[in-house]
Amino acid sequence: MASESPHILSGEAIVTTGGTAVALSASRRVRSVSIRAKAGNTGQVYVGGSDVDSTVNDGLDAGESISFDSVGWMDLADIFIDADTNGEGVDFYAVKA
């Protein structure tokens, strides 16, 4: 579910089945995005491309975040997450392009 204002987009992405990457959001052009692992997560969440999994990067523990900025724009549908544990995920906040 996403919430929008004229300049800010926020939402969440949940991994239903650990080991199966899901897109952060539907196709949306943004200038920057901050992604924060949900505080209640018990395992790590991994952020990357469509091939993201636990072997791709170190992952985010509960409450940790990562941010991406773009000179032009990026598409939220090109950013994926995966999780160690079913039903865990992230919250995100983005500045629209």
Class of 2-96 in CATH: mainly beta
3-state secondary structure of 75: strand
Which pLDDT score is estimated for 14? Answer: 98
Where along the chain do its domains lie? 2-96
DSSP 15-67: ESSTTS-EESSSS-EEEEEEEEE-TT-SS-EEEESTT--TTTS--B-TT-EEE
Which pLDDT score is estimated for 57? Answer: 80
Which pLDDT score is estimated for 3? Answer: 61
Q: b/e per residue, 24-54, with b = 16+ CB within 10 A?
A: bbeebebbebbbbbbeebebbbbbeeeebbb
pTM (global) more than 0.85: yes
- pLDDT per 10-residue tile (average), the chain, 97 residues: 74 95 94 97 96 87 96 94 97 95
Which pLDDT score is estimated for 4? Answer: 60
Which pLDDT score is estimated for 92? Answer: 97
